[in-house]
Structure 1
Amino acid sequence: MEQTLEPTADAAWVLVDDGCDALRESDRETRFTVSNGFLAARASRAINQSRQRIAPPSTYVAGLFDTRDIERPVPELVPAPDWLQIRVSLPGGPLIQHFGPGPSHPLTLDMRRGLLLTECRLVEGSAVSLRLRLLRLTSQDQRALGLQLLHLETDEGETEITLEASMDGFDSDLTSERLEHEFGVWRTHLSGKGLAMSAAVALRIDGQTLLPTVLSPFRWSWTWRTRPGQVVCFDRLVALARSDAPDQDPGERARNVLDGARTKGWRRVVEQHETAWSNRWSRSDVKVEGDGTAQKALRFAVYHLNGAANPEDPRVSIGARALTGADYRGHVFWDTEIFLLPFYILTWPEAARSLLMYRFHTLDGARAKAAERGWRGAFYAWESTDTGLEATPEQAVGPDRQIIDILTGAQEQHISADVAYAVWQYWQATGDDEFLVAAGAEILLETGRFWASRAQPEADGLHHIRGVIGPDEYHENIDDNAFTNVMARWNIRRALEVAAMLREQWPAQWTALSRRLDLNESELEHWTGVAETMATGLDSGTGLFEQFTGYFDLEDVDLSAYAGRTVPMDVVLGRERTQQSQVIKQADVVALLALLPEEFAGAAGKKNFDYYEPRCGHGSSLSTALHGLVAARLGDVETALDYFHRTAAVDLADTKVAIGGGIHIAAQGGLWMMSVFGFAGLSLRSDGLAFAPHLPASWSSLSFSVQWRGRRLSVRVDQVNQQLEASLEVGEPMILIVGGRPYPLASEAPLILHLESPPP
C-alpha cells in the first residue's frame, strides 16, 4: 500500500495544497475532485470529528436529477450518499486532526493517475500520535466503482482506538426503498430515478484481518489497541448504479460490479484505473516546454476534461460545473457544445458522440419548446437536464438583492445553432456517417427548420430575428444579434447541405426521414431564401458587425477607468446603465469570430476584435478563452497568453472569487482550445487538418495528439528550430496543410516542416 500512496514524482503532474484555510475548504474540495463522468467525489475532509456532517455534499452521480421544490419546479442534480465518512476515536472522544504551523492537512492530486492523496496527523495531547494517509479514486476503468484506502501508522502511544466507517446523506434527498447491511436502493422523490449502492470494507492490522462490528447499514467499527510502529490498512470499495424509471431496479448492476471488484481486490482495481488514465493521457496530453505555469494549467484542464465525460451513457451530458459542485443545479448549457466538444471530438470521439446523442435523445423536448412558442423545428433548452425540457429558473436574486426575471430560457436562442455547430464539427472530424444518418442529420434539419421559422421577412427584404439575448447577456430583448443571426444562417445552410447529401448518398434513409419530418422541396427552397436574406448587421464599408441593432448608438464606457475592480461591470454601473451602454459581459461578436472565422473577410477579423475587445468586461468565465483563441489566431500572441493565464486563474488561483460551487469546466476546455486552435493554429478542413502556429515567446515548444477520421497523430511545434513535426501513429495517409500548402503524411516517416515566418 505504501507505494500506491506515493504521488507521481514529476511535479508537473501533481497539484498540491499544503494549508488548511477554513474559508477555502470548499474551494479545495472542488479543485481536488476525482471524477469519471458518472461518479464524482469532492475532496472532503479525510477525518470527521463528529457524525454530523455540515460540509456541502461530496458525492455526485451523473443524471440523478429531481425536482425538490415543487413550488419552484426547477430540476436539479441530487447529491448521492457520501460513502467516504471515517471517524477515529479514543475512549475519551474523537482524535483531533492537528493543524499546526506549516503543512497540516496537505492534499495531493495526482493527475497522471487520477488519485487524490491526503496526509495528516491525529493527536491526543502528547500521549498518542498517529500518521494518517488516505487515497480515493473513482475508477476510470469501471465507472460505477469508488475506492477509499487508509494507512494508519502509530508513531507513539498505547491506547484503545476505534475506527468507524460510515455513510452520510442518504435520508435528505432520496427515499429509501431497501436498506441492508452493505447494500441500499433509494428513489428520488418526484422523478422516480433509482440509485443503488453496494459496499465492501476490510481492515488489517500488521497484515492480520480484524472483523468489524456492524452498527447499522453502511456503518462499521473496529476497536484495537495501538502500539508504536503498528500499521493499520483499511479499504472500502463501493459500486453505484442509476436507473431512470420507477420500474427499473439498479440494484443488480451495483451488486455485480462490486462482486467483480471484490474478486479482483483493491490492488487490481487501482492498477486497471491507472491503466485507463494512462490510455487517456496518451491521447490527450498537451506538453508545453518553457512555461511551467502553463504546463500545470493544461494538465489540470485535461485532467478535469477527461474526468467529466462518460462515453458509456448517451442519456447524460456535462453540466456547467461538471460533477464537481452544485452551482447551476447540474444543468447543461451551450458550454458543452462550444467549449468542451472540441476537446472530445479531437481526442476522445467516443465521448463526443455520446454527448451529441444526449442532444438527439432530448430532441423531442426541443421540438416541444419550439411548438409552445408557435415556431417549428427544434428550439433547445437553454438550461437542460435529463428530459430536454427547459430548466432555466424564471427568477433569481440579482447582485443588488432585487428579484429579477431570468429571460435566457426564452430569449437566448443561439443554443440551437450551437448544438448544430457541434454536430457538424464532429462529423467533419470523424467522418462518422452512421451517426450523421441516424441522428446528426435530424438535429441539423430540425434546428435549421427552427431558424427558418423564427426569422421573419420584413419590408426591407431581409429576414430578421427580433427579441433575443446573444452571448453578451447584459443586453436583453435585442434585435438581430450578429452572433445569433449569422449562426442561424450557417445552421440553415448546413441543414440544406445535409439534405442534399442524404438525398444523393443515402436515398432510402432520406425518403424515410423526410417523410417522418414532413419535409418537402418547397420548405427547403424557403430555407434557402431565408439564409440568403438573413440580416447580419455587417457594415460592408467598415467590415464591422454591429453586435445588435442600435448597439453603436449606446454609451461608450471606457473600461480602463475601472481597472482593478473585483466585481462585474453590471454591479459597478448598475443594471440599467449597463443595458444602455456598449459594455459587453462576454465574447459575442468575438465568439462569432472564434467559431466562424470565414465570415470575416480580409482584415475584418482584426477590425472586429480591436473594436469589441476593449468593450468586454469579461463578466463570465467563458469570455477570456475565446478572446485568447482569436488573439492567437490573429498573431497577437502576448495578448493571447495573458488571456490564457487569466483563464487558468479562474479555478487555480486563490483569488477573492470562491469556486466552492464547482470547477468552471468550460474554462478548462477553453485552455485546450487556446493551445490547439489558437497557438498551434489547428483548423478542420474537409481534406485534412491545417496548422498556422503562433507560439508565445516563452513557449519553446508545444506538443499534443489529435484524432481525425480514424487516424491518430502527434504534433509538435518547435519554436527554437522553427519547425512543425507531425507523426501519423494510427491510420491511413492523410494531408496536412501548413502555411496554406498541402503535405502528405504517412505512418512510414514523420513530417518535419520549416515554419517560414516565426511567430510574432
Structure 2
Amino acid sequence: MNQDYIIPNNWSIIEEGFEKDRVESSESLFSIGNGAMGQRANFEEYYSGPTFQGSYIAGVYYPDKTKVGWWKNGYPEYFAKVLNAPSWIGIHVFVNGEALDLNTCKSVTDYRRELNMKEGWYSRSFKATLPNDVEVQVEALRFLSLHEDEVGAIKYSVTPLNSEAEITYKSFVDAGIENKDTNWEEKFWEPLEVSENGNQAFVTAQTLKTRFVACTFMQNTFEVNGAAISIPHVVESKKDYVSFSYSNKTEANETFTIYKFGGYVTSMNHNEKELEAAAIAVLGSVSKLGFDGLLQTQIDAWAKVWEMADITIEGDVKAQQGIRFNIFQLNQTYTGADDRLNIGPKGFTGEKYGGSTYWDTEAYCIPFYMATKDEKVARSLLKYRYNQLDKAIENAEKLGFKNGAALYPMVTMNGEECHNEWEITFEEIHRNGAIAFAIFNYTRFTGDYSYIPEMGLEVLIGIARFWHQRATFSTHKNKYVILGVTGPNEYENNVNNNWYTNYLAQWCIKYTAAQLETVQTEYAADHKRILEKVQLTEAEICDWKKVAENMYFPYSEEHKVFLQQDGFLDKELITVADLDKTQRPINQKWSWDRILRSPYIKQADTLQGFYFFEDHFSKEELERHFDFYEPFTVHESSLSPCVHSIQAAVLDRMEQAYTFYLRTSRLDLDDYNKEVHEGLHITSMAGTWMSVVEGFGGMRVKEGMLSFEPKIPAQWEGFSFKVNFRNQTVKVKVTQEETTFTLDGDQDLTILLNGTKTVVKAAKN
C-alpha cells in the first residue's frame, strides 16, 4: 500500500492534518533548496517526536573513515559524507513559559503544509492547544533565495486565541549537530567563534579533516499586527551555539511575528578570515529588500525557471503534480551556477549514499539540463569530469591499471573513489561508459563539438585504455570477456560478461577511435597536443580495436535475446507476477544471498543498453528483450521505471508506459519503495522528465535534427514541453488530435515529425 496523504494539486504539494508517523516523510517531501544550500522541512519550533534534522551546504563534505570488517587492496579509505550543516532555522516558541511542541500538545487542528512550487516557498499553519490550555494559531513561511543564494528567510507568526499570553521566541544558530549516518559517532564540525551584534549573530565552524569553514548567521526583526516593533533580547552563548530570546505580552487575537534571515557564507566563496564581514554584507543587502521584497525576487526567479522548464499535463492532476515536483526538486538541487558542484542522488534532502556525484548525472541528468537551460550548464557538468581526470587515473592505478587508464569513481566529492561497498566500488565499472556516452549525447544534442578537442578526448582516451586493460582474452571462447562485474542491476554481483557492460566497453573504444580521427582531421593542433600529452600511439589504438572487434556477448538462441550475463538462464525463472506480494520489496524482506540467486532485476540493465543505443537495434529486437526482461524486473531502483516507460511508449504500449510514468513521477510522493523518510530520489527525477519528453514526446536527435514521434496516454487531454535546441526554444504541444510546434528564435528550424521533415517557422520572422 503506497502512501496517499499528499493532496493532488497542479502547483503545490499539500498535506492536511497532523500525523506524527509521517513527520519524517514530510520533512523529505517538503524540502527546499537553491543550488547552494538546502534543508529538510524540519519544524522551526522544538519537536520532541521522531525527526530527521538536516541542513546542507553544497560542496561541503567530510571524509568519514570507511568501516569494514577487513581491508582489501585498493579499498577507498573514506566514505564522503554529505554533512548535516549548522542549523539557523530554529525558533523555539514558549507560551506563558510552556514550550510549543506538537508532540505534546493537547490538540493540533487545521494543520496544513504547502510547498508552492510555482513561487518557491514552503508554508505551515495550525492551531494547537498547549498543556497549559492556551490555544494558539501558528503560521510560518520559509524559502531559500535563488536571488541571494547564501540567504534564507522565515516569517513565523503566533496568535493567542483564547486568552492573552506572553509569547517568547528563542531564535538560535546551532553548530553542535551530528550526522545520522556517521560511521564512528564522530562530530564533523569544530566550532571556531561565536559572536553577536544587535539582532545579528554568527557561529563560525570548520569541518574536521577537509577544513571547510562556514559562518552560519541570523538576523531577527519583529511585528505586532503588521507594525514593526523593537524588542530587547536575552543572549545565551556557548562555544557552538548562540540564541536570542524575545518576549512580548500578546493580546488574544493579536499576532506576534518574527522575521528571520539566516544562511551560510563559506570558505569556498570567501576569504575564511573575512566570513563574518561577508555575512554582515549579505544581511545588509537582504535587509534593504525586506522579507516581502526578497520573497518577490524569489517569485520572479522561479517564474523564469518555469518559463523554460515547465511541462504541462491537461486532464490528470496527479501526473501534473508529479512532473512539476520532479522539475522543482532538480532546480532546487542544481542551478548550474557553480561548476565545482554536481547533482547528488539525495540532493539536499537526506544523508543516504554520501558523495555528490554518481553515474546518474551523465546517464539521466544531463539530458534534462541540456534541454531546459543554457547548454553551458551541461558543458559545466562535463567539465567537472574533465577536471577530475587525474583522480580517475589515480583510482585506476590503485586497482593495478596503468598507462593512463582512467576509472571514474562510483561515488565522489573531489574525484577520488569514496564508496564503501566492494561489489560496487570494484565491480560496477559501467559508470565509465556512462561518462563517455554523456560526451556523445552532449555533442549530438548541442552541435558543440569543441568540447571534445578541448577536454573530452582526453577523458575518452583514459576510458578506452581502461576497457582495453579490463578485458581478458578467453582462449575457450576465442573472444574478449569482462569478468567479475556488477551491472546496473545490483541484484547480481560478481558476474561474468554483463551484456550492458561489455556493450558499453566495445562502444567506448569504437567511439574514442572515431573521435581521434575527427580531431586529427579538423583540429590538428589539438590532436598533436593531446597525443603528446597522453603518449598515445597507433599501435596502442590497434590493440584497443582488437578488443572491441572481438568482444563477447552472451546470447540465447532459444529466446533470441542477449543474456544479461553468462549465468542468467541458470536461475529459477519465476516472474514478478508469480512472486508473493508479501515478499515485496525484496530488498527489505530477503537475505542478500537469496536476492543474488534470484532472477529479479533491480533496474533496467540490458534494457538500459537498448535505451542508450536505441538506433543500434530494431524495434523487433527491443520488443523481444522488453518482453523477456521486464517480467523479472522489480523496479526497486528509482532509476528503473523511467527507462521502461520510454521503451513501452516506443512499443506503443501506452497503458504500460503511463503506469511506469506515474511510478517514476510519484515515486517519492506516493513512497513506492517505503523509504522517502530518508530523502528524495533527486537524480531519478530527471528520468521522469525523460519519460515525458523522450517517451510520450518521442524526442530524439537524428541526422542533426530534432525528431519527434509523439504519443499521448488515454488519461491525458494534452501535454506540452519546451526544449532549448542549439539556442532556439522549441515548444511542443500534443493533444489527442494533433501535435503543434512553436519556435522562439531567429531562424526557421527543420525537424522530423514521425519521420517526415517539417519546417517550424521562427516566431521572430
How many angstroms apart in 2 are the aligned matches of 1:573 and 1:665? Answer: 26
Q: Please tell me whether the aligned partners of residues 74 and 393 of structure 1 are also in contact (alpha carbons under 8 angstroms).
A: yes
1:474 partnered with 2:474: no
| 1:84 counterpart letter in structure 2 | I
Aligned equivalent of 2:141: 135
CA displacement at 1:289 relative to structure 2:
1.1
Aligned equivalent of 1:79: 84
SS of 2:662's partner is helix
Output one character per residue of 1:379-412: Cα deviation in whole Å (capped at 9) or x when no partner.
Answer: 111122x221111114xxxxxxxxxxx4110000
How many angstroms apart in 2 are the aligned matches of 1:412 and 1:701? Answer: 40
Distance 1:257 1:490, change over 3 A: farther
CA displacement at 1:134 relative to structure 2:
0.8
Map of 1:616-635 to 2, 5 A cutoff? 616-635=633-652
SS of 1:442's partner is helix
How many angstroms apart in 2 are the aligned matches of 1:709 and 1:249? Answer: 43
1:550 partnered with 2:578: no
Which residue of the other structure, out of 453, 456, 477, is the alignment partner of 2:469?
A: 453
**Consecutive unaligned residues in structure 1, runs of 5 or more:** 1-8, 395-405, 751-760
Distance 1:266 1:510, change over 3 A: farther
Distance 1:604 1:96, change over 3 A: closer
Which residue of the other structure, out of 392, 395, 405, is the alignment partner of 2:419?
A: 392
| 1:715 counterpart letter in structure 2 | V
Which residue of the other structure, out of 104, 117, 121, is the alignment partner of 2:123?
A: 117
SS of 2:235's partner is strand
Aligned equivalent of 2:761: 746
How many angstroms apart in 2 are the aligned matches of 1:630 and 1:160? Answer: 62
Aligned equivalent of 1:271: 296
How many angstroms apart in 2 are the aligned matches of 1:533 and 1:10? Answer: 54
| 1:28 counterpart letter in structure 2 | S
How many angstroms apart in 2 are the aligned matches of 1:706 and 1:99? Answer: 50
1:57 partnered with 2:57: no
Aligned equivalent of 1:612: 629
TM-score by length of 1: 0.90
1:202 partnered with 2:221: yes
Distance 1:152 1:159, change over 3 A: closer
Aligned equivalent of 1:6: none
How many angstroms apart in 1 are the aligned matches of 2:136 and 2:688? Answer: 41
Which residue of the other structure, out of 390, 404, 408, is the alignment partner of 1:380?
A: 408
Map of 1:359-508 to 2, 5 A cutoff? 359-376=385-402, 377-384=405-412, 386-394=413-421, 406-459=422-475, 460-508=477-525
| 1:443 counterpart letter in structure 2 | V
Q: Please tell me whether the aligned partners of residues 710 and 731 of structure 1 are also in contact (alpha carbons under 8 angstroms).
A: no
| 2:510 counterpart letter in structure 1 | R
Output one character per residue of 1:699-722: Cα deviation in whole Å (capped at 9) or x when no partner.
Answer: 121100111111111111121x2x
How many angstroms apart in 1 are the aligned matches of 2:399 and 2:671? Answer: 44
Output one character per residue of 1:474-515: Cα deviation in whole Å (capped at 9) or x when no partner.
Answer: 222212111111112222222223222222222222222221
Distance 1:496 1:259, change over 3 A: farther
Q: Please tell me whether the aligned partners of residues 184 and 198 of structure 1 are also in contact (alpha carbons under 8 angstroms).
A: yes
Q: Please tell me whether the aligned partners of residues 311 and 351 of structure 1 are also in contact (alpha carbons under 8 angstroms).
A: yes
How many angstroms apart in 1 are the aligned matches of 2:207 and 2:149? Answer: 21
1:153 partnered with 2:159: yes
| 1:238 counterpart letter in structure 2 | G
Q: Please tell me whether the aligned partners of residues 195 and 250 of structure 1 are also in contact (alpha carbons under 8 angstroms).
A: no
Aligned equivalent of 1:357: 383
Stretch moving more, 332-341 or 79-88: 332-341
1:311 partnered with 2:311: no
Stretch moving more, 68-77 or 104-113: 68-77
CA displacement at 1:726 relative to structure 2:
1.0
Output one character per residue of 1:398-449: Cα deviation in whole Å (capped at 9) or x when no partner.
Answer: xxxxxxxx41100000001111112221222223344333333322222122
Distance 1:184 1:504, change over 3 A: farther
Aligned equivalent of 1:243: 267
Distance 1:246 1:39, change over 3 A: closer
Distance 1:578 1:557, change over 3 A: farther
1:301 partnered with 2:326: yes
Aligned equivalent of 1:215: 235
Distance 1:101 1:631, change over 3 A: farther
Aligned equivalent of 1:260: 285
Give the alignment's Cα RMSD to 1 decimal. Answer: 2.6
TM-score by length of 2: 0.89
Which residue of the other structure, out of 26, 45, 48, is the alignment partner of 2:46?
A: 48
How many angstroms apart in 1 are the aligned matches of 2:748 and 2:489? Answer: 43
Output one character per residue of 1:664-710: Cα deviation in whole Å (capped at 9) or x when no partner.
Answer: 11332222111111111111234211111221111121100111111
Which residue of the other structure, out of 154, 168, 171, is the alignment partner of 1:165?
A: 171
How many angstroms apart in 1 are the aligned matches of 2:500 and 2:376? Answer: 29
Q: Please tell me whether the aligned partners of residues 239 and 258 of structure 1 are also in contact (alpha carbons under 8 angstroms).
A: no
Q: Please tell me whether the aligned partners of residues 192 and 246 of structure 1 are also in contact (alpha carbons under 8 angstroms).
A: no
CA displacement at 1:70 relative to structure 2:
6.9
CA displacement at 1:631 relative to structure 2:
0.9
Output one character per residue of 1:333-390: Cα deviation in whole Å (capped at 9) or x when no partner.
Answer: 2222212222111112343233322222222221111122222421111122x22111
SS of 1:651's partner is coil
Aligned equivalent of 1:22: 20
Output one character per residue of 1:568-598: Cα deviation in whole Å (capped at 9) or x when no partner.
Answer: 3366564434433432222111111121112
Output one character per residue of 1:622-679: Cα deviation in whole Å (capped at 9) or x when no partner.
Answer: 2222111211111111111111222234201156713111101133222211111111
Stretch moving more, 278-287 or 614-623: 614-623
Distance 1:464 1:256, change over 3 A: farther
Distance 1:745 1:664, change over 3 A: same
CA displacement at 1:749 relative to structure 2:
8.3
| 1:115 counterpart letter in structure 2 | W
Stretch moving more, 280-289 or 542-551: 542-551
CA displacement at 1:462 relative to structure 2:
2.4
1:342 partnered with 2:367: yes
Return the structure number with greater relative CO, CA threshold 8 A, min gap 6. 2
How many angstroms apart in 2 are the aligned matches of 1:421 and 1:159? Answer: 64
CA displacement at 1:205 relative to structure 2:
2.2
How many angstroms apart in 2 are the aligned matches of 1:656 and 1:603? Answer: 32
CA displacement at 1:92 relative to structure 2:
3.7
Aligned equivalent of 1:176: 191
SS of 1:82's partner is coil
How many angstroms apart in 2 are the aligned matches of 1:581 and 1:655? Answer: 21
How many angstroms apart in 2 are the aligned matches of 1:477 and 1:417? Answer: 18
How many angstroms apart in 1 are the aligned matches of 2:611 and 2:497? Answer: 19
Q: Please tell me whether the aligned partners of residues 317 and 332 of structure 1 are also in contact (alpha carbons under 8 angstroms).
A: yes
Stretch moving more, 212-221 or 39-48: 212-221
SS of 1:84's partner is coil
Distance 1:327 1:541, change over 3 A: same
Stretch moving more, 530-539 or 624-633: 530-539
1:706 partnered with 2:723: yes
Aligned equivalent of 1:757: none
Q: Please tell me whether the aligned partners of residues 665 and 685 of structure 2 are also in contact (alpha carbons under 8 angstroms).
A: yes
How many angstroms apart in 2 are the aligned matches of 1:363 and 1:355? Answer: 13
| 2:90 counterpart letter in structure 1 | Q
Q: Please tell me whether the aligned partners of residues 712 and 731 of structure 1 are also in contact (alpha carbons under 8 angstroms).
A: no
| 1:18 counterpart letter in structure 2 | E
SS of 2:608's partner is helix
| 1:164 counterpart letter in structure 2 | K
CA displacement at 1:215 relative to structure 2:
0.7
How many angstroms apart in 1 are the aligned matches of 2:582 and 2:657? Answer: 21
SS of 1:369's partner is helix
How many angstroms apart in 1 are the aligned matches of 2:401 and 2:47? Answer: 57
How many angstroms apart in 2 are the aligned matches of 1:664 and 1:596? Answer: 25
How many angstroms apart in 2 are the aligned matches of 1:226 and 1:638? Answer: 58
Aligned equivalent of 1:730: 745
